[in-house]
Amino acid sequence: MQGNQLLDFIKDRRSVRRFSSEPVSDEMLNMVLEAGRWAPSGNNNQPWRFVVVHDPAVRAKLAPFTKFGAVLKNAPVLICTFIHLPSMYNDTKDHQAVGACLENMLLMAHGLGLGAVWLGEILKSAAEVRDALGQPEELALMAVMALGHPDGGTSKPERKEMDELVVARL
């Protein structure tokens, strides 16, 4: 892929919060997870862990933990992404690595024609979500990614101007 094609692809990815009832194939789901697996991490410690949720009853159980509960119920698949506390070596770098993992998965979903959104608001109930999913305390929730085939358009939030972001060119 040429650089400008990659840039267009990155810009074209948008958070999708409405999904059709079409299921996500195992092949597509595994490609999304595989993209996450290949994210960079400090010391290559790969601190991410995933709980994949299809079961509508489980999705409904998680819905009250966030104001985006309707998205959880509507998405055919959730990738609940955790950080594995015993694998960590540096708080900041390990959290950055999980962010890279999540972005890899968002981009892979986009590349497959799927829609996805990174849900962070649910972190206010991180421990409750972990317990509802039957996971041990050595996992801490980082995000829930809702995934499915897009249904309808997306909002297209703008970005700050480059001049505001590049604070110095030395």
Binding-site ranges for ligand FMN (CB under 6 A): 14-15, 17, 68, 117-121, 154, 157
**Shortest distance (Å) from residue 28 CB to ligand FMN:** 20
Whose CB is nearest to ligand FMN? 120
> Residue 125 is encoded by which pair of tokens?
């109930």
**Shortest distance (Å) from residue 106 CB to ligand FMN:** 8
Identify the CA nearest to 129 among candidates 75, 82, 71.
82
* Nearest CB to ligand FMN, comparing residues 15 and 135: 15
Spell out where 55-148 has E strands: 77-84, 115-119, 139-148
* Nearest CB to ligand FMN, comparing residues 65 and 68: 68
| Cα 78 to Cα 53: distance, rounded to the nearest angstrom | 5
* Nearest CB to ligand FMN, comparing residues 15 and 87: 15
**Shortest distance (Å) from residue 98 CB to ligand FMN:** 10
Compute the chain's Rg from CA coordinates.
16
* Nearest CB to ligand FMN, comparing residues 17 and 130: 17
User: What DSSP assignment string belongs to 136-151?
Assistant: -TTEEEEEEEEEE-B-
**Shortest distance (Å) from residue 25 CB to ligand FMN:** 24
Q: Name beta bridge partners: 81.
A: 50, 143
**Shortest distance (Å) from residue 125 CB to ligand FMN:** 12
Cα dihedral: 87, 90, 96, 98 (round 10): 10
* Nearest CB to ligand FMN, comparing residues 111 and 136: 111
